[in-house]
Structure 1
Amino acid sequence: MTEILPNIPRAVTGLAEWLACVVYIVVLPRRWGVVGTVVTVAGGLVLLVGVQLFAGTLPQYLWTLGMGLAATSMLAFVAVATTVNLRDAGYVTARAFVLAELVASLEWQIHTFYFHPEPGVTTLFPTLALLAFYAGAFGAAHMLERRHFDSTAPAVGPRMLAIAAAMALGTFALSNLSFVTPNTPFSGELSREVFYIRTLVDLAGYIALYAQHEQLRKQRADLEVAAMDAVLRTQHDQYLAAKRDIEAVSRASHDLKHHLAVIRAELDPERRGRQLDALEETLDEFGAAFDTGNPVLDTVLTSKARYCRSRGINFTAVADGAALGFVDVMDLASICGNALDNAIESVLRLRDPEQRLIRVAVFNQARFVVMKFENYFDGELRYEEGELATRKTGDMHGLGLKSIRHAAEKYGGEATFSGRENWFTLTVLLPIS
């Protein structure tokens, strides 16, 4: 005689779905503070358990409708508790749904092996065992998923969302196929056999979704490294070009002695005036040279100052370049080049030429080198997923600040930014080794 085992209680399923959502909510950027999040999470528990209990009252032919309501409730819970967009919330919900199915199925399989035909969760020990198992399983899931998100949104596209949704739907359909009909090559006939199939299929589905996200992270990391490398190479090329310009200026300065000799010998006051005017224009063209004690910083500041002069930007810099002797050429060029490029791009958007102001300061302070880049701006700082939102578009979106932060962290330092009274300040702090 075939043993008929009870299915997972609806309240237990709702609890698993709630805990699966919580696993992802705590690793995503949250919409509310501590109190608001606690209230939202408590409301989510009532919602998901309530939906499962309601679905249990529906006729058998509306079983899929009940599961659809549960998935929709999970989506709403994630969307309300976090700041991710609807597409990301759908992607996370697909993963949470499969995780909930896996943990609930595995726990109930163990539960029925040890406690059936005992009353089940109505007795104290099985209930404590269930809670302990859920705590361990979802705690382990949290440890795995924390490295995937770490308070950042997944930022998936329509294709990734469709793949995740198809995986979740396929996993759910195959794992529950035996409950619908045993007359397929993928169905089981015995109760325990059905439970094994459900658990194994759910495990395969979770592994597939986990591997999908790992591949997504790897692709993004490769693209970001390639883009950052392109930024570094561009900054280095700019540095070399600026260095050549300064060498040309140095050669031209030697010719000034001959120009001065000609001017001194000129007796016609009118012609002498024209020659002086021409000399002044030459000096204006090459007069933005810096001598900070660091040739790399001199080159970058001189190049950017000349560019600012040609665009009507008021550029000032007070820098002790000798303190940056321990910083690699590529890293220093990347930090200064990206910071000044961002500042120049920002002030060029200002309509009032008097507001086009950029200030640079480099100095020692308590065994640290402080690099400050300030520019006037006319808006408010916006943040997306915990990062400063850039106005740039395309593949290089936001890579300037990431490149600066990466270079600073290479030396055990940090890069921070702030906005106050229409001044944007980027501060790079490097410990003196």
Structure 2
Amino acid sequence: MTEVLPNIPRVVTGLAEWLACVVYILVLPRRWGDLGTGVVLAGGLGLLVSVQLFAGTLPQYLWTLGMGLAATSMLALIGVATTVNVRDAGYVTARAFVLAELVASLEWQIHTFYFHPEPGVLALVPSMVLLALYAVAFGGGHMLERRHFDGAAPAVGPRMLAIAVAMAVGTFALSNLSFVTPDTPFSGELSREVFYIRTLVDLAGYIALYAQHEQLRKQRADLDLAAMDAILRTQHDQYLQAKRDIELVSRASHDLKHHLAVIRTELDPEQRGKHLDALEESLDQFGAAFDTGNPVLDTVLTSKARYCRSRGINFTAVADGGALGFVDVMDLASICGNALDNAIESVFRLPDPEQRIIRVAVFNQARFVVLRFENYFDGELRYEEGELATRKVGGQHGLGMRSIKQTAEKYGGEATFVGRDNWFTLTVLLPLSVG
């Protein structure tokens, strides 16, 4: 006869879900101080246990509704206790949900092995084992997740959120399939076998979510390295440009003396005017410096303007960078550098020199700083899986677009682009409330 083992008590499940939420709340930016966070967590414990007790009263066909309510309650607790946005809260909730399922399943498997038969009863010794195992498991989870977040929001995009939710739902469905029906290729029939499957699937799900975040961290590290490389290349270009400027100023100073001597001795007003025009034209090359109120933006715009001038590209910029102080140096250089590099590469391929136009505008609007980059382009914008696909004449913008988008999302902003009437426009919005 098949041995029937008791399922995890609802109170124990609620406690596991609450502790999983605590693990992530402690490593995320919190909305309240220690006292306020304690109050929120106390209320969250009562909410999650109550939801589990209520779910236990629902008929079998509403089982998924009960788990949906539990997941929603976890999302609400994380959202109230931390300052992360809804997307990040959903991403963290998916991880917390799988962690709670894993630890609860592991503990109950050990409990039923050593203390069965005691259906639904948590005596003193089993309760001490439960608390000890929960302390070790969730403490270990906190140590692992602290290196992932450590007070910073995950700043995930819609795609990363969708993958995490799909992993969590798939893990939960497979791990609990045997409790619904044994008539599938993935179900077990014996109680101990069912518990073993549940623990194993939950472990695999948590490892998959952990690996997903490791991949996200690697991508961001690669972006940071690329940004650093861009900064170093910009600094090298600035050094070379400064060296050329010094040589140019030296030559211009020498030539200026001769021009002034010629002008002084010239009696013909028409010839004198031509000499003055030539002198004014020679001085124009020193007028490419910008003073926007932000030294990083000044450096990038000045460097790119001089580069464009030397290659016959019409570059204009109207920028007020005074409100960009909250943006990290590397992040601002990454946004502007990638955007302008893409624009320069695009217009430089155009056969008509009159179409090689780049326009930049930086200004405040409402509670946002707006960075707008425009350039003329000749070609169609292609998309693959919702992303801008490039490698086409006039469409090289995708090379740095992902970096720009992720940097903007880091500050709670967004980056959008549109191609219309042969004009490509990239707009980056950064909320002023950040920082």
Instruction: Give the TM interval when normalised to the shorter protein.
Output: 0.5 to 0.7
Distance (whole Å) between structure 2 residues aligned to residue 237 and residue 397 of structure 1: 25
Distance (whole Å) between structure 2 residues aligned to residue 190 and residue 153 of structure 1: 42
- Cα distance change of structure 1 residues 267 and 223 upon mapping to structure 2, 3 Å threshold: closer
Match of 1:156 in 2: 156
Matches within 5 A, 1:274-289: none
CA offsets 1:227-274 (integer angstroms, 9 cap, x no match): 43234323422331232122111122223443455567x496999998
2:82 is matched by which residue type in structure 1?
T
- Cα distance change of structure 1 residues 271 and 126 upon mapping to structure 2, 3 Å threshold: same
**Alignment partner of 1:28: what SS?**
coil
- Cα distance change of structure 1 residues 78 and 230 upon mapping to structure 2, 3 Å threshold: same
Distance (whole Å) between structure 1 residues aligned to residue 11 and residue 254 of structure 2: 87
| Residue 17 (str. 1) matches residue 17 (str. 2) | yes
CA offsets 1:37-78 (integer angstroms, 9 cap, x no match): 221111111110110011111122221111111111111111
Native 8 Å contact 2:292 2:319 kept in 1:
no
Match of 2:165 in 1: 165
Distance (whole Å) between structure 1 residues aligned to residue 53 and residue 302 of structure 2: 58
Match of 2:64 in 1: 64
Native 8 Å contact 2:288 2:302 kept in 1:
no
Match of 1:86 in 2: 86
1:255 is matched by which residue type in structure 2?
D
Match of 2:53 in 1: 53
Match of 1:194 in 2: 194
2:94 is matched by which residue type in structure 1?
A
CA offsets 1:359-402 (integer angstroms, 9 cap, x no match): xxxxxxxxxxxxxxxxxx9989x9xxxxxx975475347979x9
Q: Name the count of aligned residue pairs.
A: 331
**Alignment partner of 2:153: what SS?**
coil
Match of 1:247 in 2: 247
| Residue 77 (str. 1) matches residue 74 (str. 2) | no
| Residue 35 (str. 1) matches residue 73 (str. 2) | no
Q: Structure 1 residue 103: deviation in Å? A: 0.2
Matches within 5 A, 1:294-373: 307-308=288-289, 313=291, 340-341=299-300, 349-350=319-320
Q: Structure 1 residue 184: deviation in Å? A: 2.1
Distance (whole Å) between structure 2 residues aligned to residue 399 and residue 77 of structure 1: 28
| Residue 175 (str. 1) matches residue 179 (str. 2) | no
Native 8 Å contact 1:228 1:399 kept in 2:
no
Matches within 5 A, 1:112-151: 112-118=112-118, 122-151=122-151
Q: Structure 1 residue 224: deviation in Å? A: 3.2
Native 8 Å contact 2:6 2:120 kept in 1:
no
Distance (whole Å) between structure 1 residues aligned to residue 164 and residue 405 of structure 2: 26
Match of 2:4 in 1: 4
Distance (whole Å) between structure 1 residues aligned to residue 371 and residue 58 of structure 2: 52
Distance (whole Å) between structure 2 residues aligned to residue 99 and residue 3 of structure 1: 28
Distance (whole Å) between structure 2 residues aligned to residue 378 and residue 45 of structure 1: 46
TM-score (norm 1): 0.65
How large is the RMSD of aligned CA atoms in angstroms? 3.9
Match of 2:222 in 1: 222
Distance (whole Å) between structure 2 residues aligned to residue 343 and residue 250 of structure 1: 20
- Cα distance change of structure 1 residues 46 and 257 upon mapping to structure 2, 3 Å threshold: same
Q: Structure 1 residue 220: deviation in Å? A: 2.4
Q: Structure 1 residue 20: deviation in Å? A: 0.7
Native 8 Å contact 1:235 1:338 kept in 2:
no
- Cα distance change of structure 1 residues 343 and 132 upon mapping to structure 2, 3 Å threshold: farther
Distance (whole Å) between structure 2 residues aligned to residue 109 and residue 85 of structure 1: 36
Matches within 5 A, 1:352-431: 391-392=370-371, 395-396=403-404
Unaligned runs of at least 5 residues, structure 1? 287-302, 316-334, 359-376, 383-388, 403-433
CA offsets 1:65-112 (integer angstroms, 9 cap, x no match): 111111111111111112222122111111111110000000111111
Distance (whole Å) between structure 2 residues aligned to residue 234 and residue 267 of structure 1: 45
- Cα distance change of structure 1 residues 249 and 203 upon mapping to structure 2, 3 Å threshold: same
TM-score (norm 2): 0.65
Native 8 Å contact 1:121 1:127 kept in 2:
no
1:152 is matched by which residue type in structure 2?
A
CA offsets 1:190-241 (integer angstroms, 9 cap, x no match): 2111111110011011111111111122122223322432343234223312
Native 8 Å contact 2:364 2:370 kept in 1:
no
- Cα distance change of structure 1 residues 104 and 399 upon mapping to structure 2, 3 Å threshold: closer
- Cα distance change of structure 1 residues 175 and 391 upon mapping to structure 2, 3 Å threshold: same
**Alignment partner of 2:148: what SS?**
helix
- Cα distance change of structure 1 residues 235 and 396 upon mapping to structure 2, 3 Å threshold: farther
Identity, in percent, stands at 71
Distance (whole Å) between structure 1 residues aligned to residue 369 and residue 229 of structure 2: 19
Distance (whole Å) between structure 2 residues aligned to residue 285 and residue 101 of structure 1: 69
| Residue 111 (str. 1) matches residue 117 (str. 2) | no
**Alignment partner of 1:149: what SS?**
coil
- Cα distance change of structure 1 residues 56 and 314 upon mapping to structure 2, 3 Å threshold: closer
